[in-house]
Structure formats: structure tokens, C-alpha cells
């Protein structure tokens, strides 16, 4: 037996707060109200916010986008291209609880390792994606990546 335990990095709460502030600022710039979920690499919430005026369902949708992104280590929007329409695997995966396969969920990577994810819901797919990207950029700028 080689290793009994492995070491994995996960997003720190301080980095999650940097991202959260950046996402909210971007949403304000776009004049939209969103919900944001920032998850650690294991899918647990590190930071969340539901902006005043955001749609109630956007809370769960933001979390699902983030969960999908961290769970598969891919942007939530990528699944539309990866799974052939009409395939049984597409239908099966898309109906799993907690999955969201449209724009707004991005994995957070540092040094090629996924350490968490950001999910945003409340605007259009492109607006949600843009807000999530602002959070990713804020973390990258903070670590000089």
C-alpha cells in the first residue's frame, strides 16, 4: 500500500469572501439581483448571498450550478455540448438532484487543482456567467495567478 491519506487544497473562507464581493459588484454593475453560492472542493457552502430583489428560486439554482461545476470540475454550461441530445446518460445525469446544466457555475482552480466553485443565478445565462467569472478573476488577482 502506498499512501493511506491524500492532501487536497480547498478554498479558504477569506478567498470566498473576496470572490463573493466581486460577484455582487458585477451584478450591481449589470443592474441585476442574483444569488451566489461558493462551495469548497467537497461541495459544501463556504459563502452565500441572496441579493435584495433576487428571485427566490435563484438560491437553489446558484447552489446547483456551483455543485455541478465542482462535482465534475467543469463549467456547468459545458454539459450542453458534452452530452448528446437524446442519450440515456444525458437524461439520467440531468435528472439527478442538485445538478444544473446551464451557464453560471464555474470551478475555481489554483495551480491546475479545483479548490471550489462559484454558482450564480438571477440574470440571463451570460450575465450569471459574467458574474461568476468576476469572482474567479478576483481570486486569481488576489493570488497573483
Q: How far apart are CA 92 and CA 76, in angstroms?
A: 16
What confidence score (pLDDT) does residue 89 get?
81
Domain spans of the chain, in order of start = 13-138
CA 71 to chain centre: 10
Using N-to-C axis directions, what is the helix angle for 125-143 and 13-29, rounded to 10°?
140
Domain 13-138: give its CATH superfamily.
Haem-degrading domain (3.30.450.150)
Tens-digit pLDDT profile for residues 80-94: 777 778 888 877 877
- pLDDT reading at 1 higher than 80: no
Q: How far apart are CA 122 and CA 142, in angstroms?
A: 26
- pLDDT reading at 39 higher than 90: yes
Amino acid at each position: 500500500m502506498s499512501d493511506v491519506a491524500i492532501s487536497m487544497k480547498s478554498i479558504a473562507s477569506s478567498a470566498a469572501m473576496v470572490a463573493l464581493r466581486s460577484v455582487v459588484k458585477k451584478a450591481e454593475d449589470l443592474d441585476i439581483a442574483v444569488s451566489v453560492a461558493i462551495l469548497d472542493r467537497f461541495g459544501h457552502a463556504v459563502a452565500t448571498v441572496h441579493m435584495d430583489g433576487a428571485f427566490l428560486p435563484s438560491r437553489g439554482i446558484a447552489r446547483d450550478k456551483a455543485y455541478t461545476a465542482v462535482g465534475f470540475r467543469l463549467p456547468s454550461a459545458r454539459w450542453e455540448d458534452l452530452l448528446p441530445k437524446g442519450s440515456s446518460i444525458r437524461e439520467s445525469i440531468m435528472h439527478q438532484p442538485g445538478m444544473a446544466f446551464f451557464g453560471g457555475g464555474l470551478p475555481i482552480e489554483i495551480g491546475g487543482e479545483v479548490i471550489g466553485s462559484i454558482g450564480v443565478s438571477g440574470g440571463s445565462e451570460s450575465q450569471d456567467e459574467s458574474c461568476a467569472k468576476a469572482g474567479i478573476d478576483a481570486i486569481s488577482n488576489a493570488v497573483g495567478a
